[in-house]
Amino acid sequence: MKKLSTILIAVLISVMAFGQQTGYYNGTEGKSGDELKAALNGIISGHTPYSYYFAKEIFKISDADPENADNVIQVYTGFSHDNTDYGNSGLELNREHVWAKSHGNFADMPPMYGDVHNLKPAAATVNQSKSNLDFDNGGVQHAVATGCYYTDSTWEARDDIKGDIARIIFYMSTRYEGNDGEMDLEVVNWNNTYPNAQHGKLSTLLQWNLLDPPDAFERNRNDVIFTFQKNRNPFIDDPNFAELIWGEATPNAILIGDVQLIPELAVAEEPVDVNATITSSTEPITAATLTWGINFEALNNEIVMTADGNVFSAQIPGQAEDATVYYKIAATNVETTNSSVVYNYYVPKIFTGTIVSIYDIQGQQDDSPYDGQVVSTTGVVTGNFGSNYFIQDGTGGWNGLFIYESGRNPSIGDSIVLTGKITEYYGKTEMADISDYYFISGNNTLPEPVIVTTGGVEEQHESILVAVKNAMCTDDNYQADHFMWKIDDGSGVLKVHNTSVFEYDPTQGNSYNVTGPMNYDFDEWKIELRFESDVAGGSDEDGPLLVEVVPIVSTNVKVMFNEEVESATAEDVANYSINNGVNIEAATQHAFNKAQVNLTVTELSGDYEITIQNVKDLSGNIMEEQSMAFSFVGIEDLFLNGEVKVFPNPAIQQVNISFNALENVDIEIQLADVSGRIVKHVDYPARQGENNFTFDLNNVSKGIYFLNIQGNNSSLRYKIVVR
């Protein structure tokens, strides 16, 4: 048995009020237009998705009435309303898609459909009136949302949220750029955009952004959603991003970048250094200052920064533990001034207490010997589902614990200490009523899953990571059983739960390998799914297959295999080669998606071929040598101004494709239905200069399709309607 221990550690608490952490927007300085939009997309993409249904739970925190925690503020009326009262009439709550889901038809398509940055609680009767209208000024006053006005094609939001609405539309247009199978959403300067993947009206939204700057409610909402999705709405943090991308603003001559905190984790009562690289494209920098405070609204302390070349530094005095420090940097030359966004850091608390191990809490019995007691324990987060999460201390039975706490949202791999009450909840040992929480470190290696049979799950497996091998799906109708499907490896039936963060669509009769935390709920065992790699095909006797090679930046290449791969061979640079003189400097397996490896390479520019060999899967199968061509030049860079015209849309019998190619290139044009099935494809040898191509739609059924124009290992995607 593990023994009680007393520890003294400095750790970082997870605080929901965190704003943008130091350096979040590094790399955006000096950019504008599409270049800035692409940089922001790179920062906010790949967020942790939650289901559309779970937005109700997030609203309870993100849109809570500051004066009544049991209510939320309805977006268009401004009314405070019971946060559980959902329905389709009167003032009952709806989950309003601010970027209407019919503008691109992304209903039920993750992650767009459930992105909480785009969802707001709204009164049902008002939501029905707003429908999928574009945004613009003018019209008839709404009878319920009296601050709003509407026409047959437009909706004007009340004054207090005009900027909020604009910044949501800007976020959606920036977050979804057609990458990784997602839609390409664009804000445009006209109305009547339905059903295109567009929203208007840009010029009005830019005005709203300026007229109604972010307030404390909107900033708090951004912070809360960040704790769930792990991405932010940049236009709340810096509304001027919108003017730089779509408006008339130009980048400031003074660039403030590479903002760093030293040390990365502050120590109570000890000073912290803030460094930044500050340059000017015109006159030399004459002064740089850092203003700080312990309140976002009161940065009342000023420090003159010292310069070492282009690197400017300031030292913020030591602060008490459990304090959040907010700061921003400003610099001037003889012509102008520029400032950064407001960043922050947290001063860790000191934990001095007694740790009870999870092993002792579980007690190697059905009911915990600590039932009803308040204790402190520690472990690594193995799964997070928004309203609850799992922690585990080491590999093996009795080392897992279910934590019931909404809104904390630690990341998988976080090592934490927390204090709470141990409870036996209908046979499941859990910790609830969390009174204190500490973050020790992130990105820790998760415990190895314990291999179990579907009919052999026991009490010792409660809340630990488990893995089931080669189990057949015996019932794939998860919609009929609280989003759970059934598997059986011959030893008995076990349920797999499609959760608020990941849903898998199984096929009855197919075999699967399934990994995840084992939960005991409603008198039954179930594996909770966390991400895509938790489910893989069973009966694996083949080596890994190379399925995708994507340059992320000019010095980093993402390599995707069809299954999880073994770390030692996946991170051996000798197993990879790229032609045309490119050197591979490092191979790093993704911390949680073990099917992904990122290669650090020397500068890319042009067309390449990668060759990979000797990489093993988790069953020890070795891949055969495989090669794949890729290019760092995206297909849009092969067309004049990156433009391709696809018309008419909606289309009947044919659709016309027109572009001006900068060079000869062979492209493939595919028509896919909404499930991704290729309905029709044509190879087209584009030649330098003007190209006009007619894509035949005869014998194509009426409906919604995606037209993919592919070449150079990248593609452009357009949604079209066939009538």
DSSP-assigned letters across all residues of 573-642: GGGEEESTTPPEEEEEE-SS-TTEEEEEESPP-SEEEEEE---BBTT-PBPPPEEEEEESS-GGGGEEEE
CB of 134 within 8 A of CB of 192? yes
Tell whether 216 is covered by a domain. yes
661 and 606 assigned to the same domain: no
Among residues 322, 349, 376, which one ends one of the domains? 349
SS3 328: strand
57 and 195 assigned to the same domain: yes
CATH of the domain at 531: 2.40.50.140
pLDDT for res 719: 82
Tell whether 662 is covered by a domain. yes
SS3 398: coil
pLDDT for res 700: 87
pTM over 0.75: no
pLDDT for res 714: 57
517 and 455 assigned to the same domain: yes
- What is the residue range of 512's domain? 450-537
**Torsion over CA: 535, 537, 541, 543 (sign):** negative
85 and 163 assigned to the same domain: yes
CB of 468 within 8 A of CB of 454? yes
pLDDT for res 636: 63
CATH of the domain at 573: 2.60.40.1220
660-699 per-position pLDDT tens digit: 888 888 888 888 876 667 788 888 888 999 999 899 998 8
Among residues 409, 441, 473, which one ends one of the domains? 441
Terminal C-alpha separation, the chain: 70
CB of 544 within 8 A of CB of 615? yes
Tell whether 573 is covered by a domain. yes
344 and 362 assigned to the same domain: no
**What is the C-alpha separation between 524 and 427, in angstroms, rounded?**
10
**Torsion over CA: 212, 213, 216, 220 (sign):** positive
| Six token digits for residue 313 | 């530094």
Tell whether 603 is covered by a domain. yes
Tell whether 572 is covered by a domain. yes
Tell whether 12 is covered by a domain. no
287-341 per-position pLDDT tens digit: 999 999 999 999 999 999 999 999 999 999 999 988 999 999 999 999 999 999 9
260 and 229 assigned to the same domain: no
| Residue stretches of the chain with pLDDT short of 50 | 1-19
pLDDT for res 564: 85
Tell whether 22 is covered by a domain. no
Rg (CA), the chain: 27
Tell whether 687 is covered by a domain. yes
pLDDT for res 9: 36
Among residues 505, 537, 569, which one ends one of the domains? 537
Number of structural domains, the chain? 6
569 and 670 assigned to the same domain: no
CATH of the domain at 304: 2.60.40.10
457 and 421 assigned to the same domain: no
pLDDT for res 638: 74
39 and 87 assigned to the same domain: yes
CB of 437 within 8 A of CB of 414? no
**What is the C-alpha separation between 105 and 115, in angstroms, rounded?**
14
- Phi–psi pair at 716, nearest 5 degrees: -110, 145
314 and 368 assigned to the same domain: no
362 and 494 assigned to the same domain: no
Nearest to 249 by CA among 235, 266, 260: 235
227 and 151 assigned to the same domain: yes
CATH of the domain at 688: 2.60.40.3080
217: enclosing H helix or E strand: helix 216-229
